[in-house]
Amino acid sequence: MKRPALYSRSVRSRMADRQEAPEPVRADASGYLREVVEMPTAGAPLRSRFQTFLRHRDRVLWIVVGTSIALLVVFGQQAMSPPAGRITQADIDAAVLRALETKLLPSLAAKAYEIVRPSVVGVYGFRPEQKPKKLPEQSVGTGVVIVDKGLILTNLHVVNEAERVNVIFADGHESEATLVGLRPEHDLAVLQANSIPKGLTAATIRSTTDLALGQEVIAVGFPFGIGPSVSAGVVSGLEREYLSPEGQRIFTNLIQFDAAVNPGSSGGPLVTTDGHVVGIVTAILNPTNQGVFIGIGFAVPIENAAAAVGIPPF
């Protein structure tokens, strides 16, 4: 009966030795030695589980602390930065002034001319007594396209008694033109160009009911055949009368202006600074009878001119 007891103690002794023996160090497939660490089991002492919890808690704590420090650094930099100044009206005025000093804006006259320029044409009349190939110019004047199909307004005295009339458009296109309408009481003539350039633009017309003395205007034309030329001035008077040089007709309800015009300017547009045509240049007044400008010009209001074309009044 003693042998089983001895056997039993031997087994327990070996089991105890196995539990107390350290875990062997093993080599992995790469030949490096690695220690085998076993996670605590449910039967592990409470102290080991508590130590594992503390290790995990410390790791989370360090992450929280690091994040807090980073946030404090960012907010500290923002607090130390100087605040952006508010933009005042003085700052805006100074910026506008600097822009005006460095870049000149186009004048009102320049902008008005650019708007009306595509609609202005040169008008040339020829004497009837000469052969067609040698026809000298009888007269030089100006016209303005009032309908984009090639309908042109000019002065009657520019084309009166001409056997043939030619017009030259802003892009250089030249065409013969036919007289299709007359308004002798306003010294107006309506021409239809036989051919027109592509993309022809008609001028924009504007009522003269709100035209005021001192209002800026420009005159565009071919004075003495030079042009197109631009001159600037103001409206000097309204509802003026003018006696023709021959003394045969009195023209009424004219616009008086002081933008320079001369022979060849007749039939050209009188234009406001927004590029709208308010009149057709008709005559100049010079008591010396020299036929040159001394500061008084006259234009037919566009209402009368539009009626000559058949356009209804405003």
| Residue 66 in domain | no
* Closest to 159 (Cα-Cα) out of 109, 122, 213: 122
Strand partners, 189: 154, 182
| Residue 121 in domain | yes
Cβ contact 204:163 at 8 Å:
no
- Write the pLDDT tens digit of every residue in 81-100: 655 567 888 888 888 788 77
Cβ contact 274:112 at 8 Å:
yes
| Residue 105 in domain | no
| Pair of tokens at residue 35 | 């220690």
Domain residue limits at 135: 111-309
| Pair of tokens at residue 125 | 């009349």
Name the residues annotated as catalytic.
Answer: 157, 187, 266
- Write the pLDDT tens digit of every residue in 128-145: 765 455 555 578 999 999
CATH classification of the domain holding 301 = 2.40.10.120
* DSSP three-state, residue 189: strand
Query: How many domains, in total, are found in the chain?
Result: 1
| Residue 219 in domain | yes
| Predicted local confidence at residue 30, as pLDDT | 46
Per-residue confidence at 11, pLDDT binned at 50, 70, 90?
Answer: very low
| Pair of tokens at residue 7 | 């056997």
Per-residue confidence at 49, pLDDT binned at 50, 70, 90?
Answer: low
| Predicted local confidence at residue 86, as pLDDT | 77
Mean pLDDT of 58-71: 71
Instruction: Give 230-273 as a DSSP string.
Output: EEEEEEEEEEEEEE-TTSS-EEEEEEEE-S---TT-TTPEEEET
| Residue 200 in domain | yes
Q: ∠ at Cα 165 (260, 120), nearest 5°? A: 40
| Residue 273 in domain | yes
Q: What is the CA radius of gyration of the chain?
A: 49
Phi, psi (5° rounding) for residue 169?
A: -80, 175
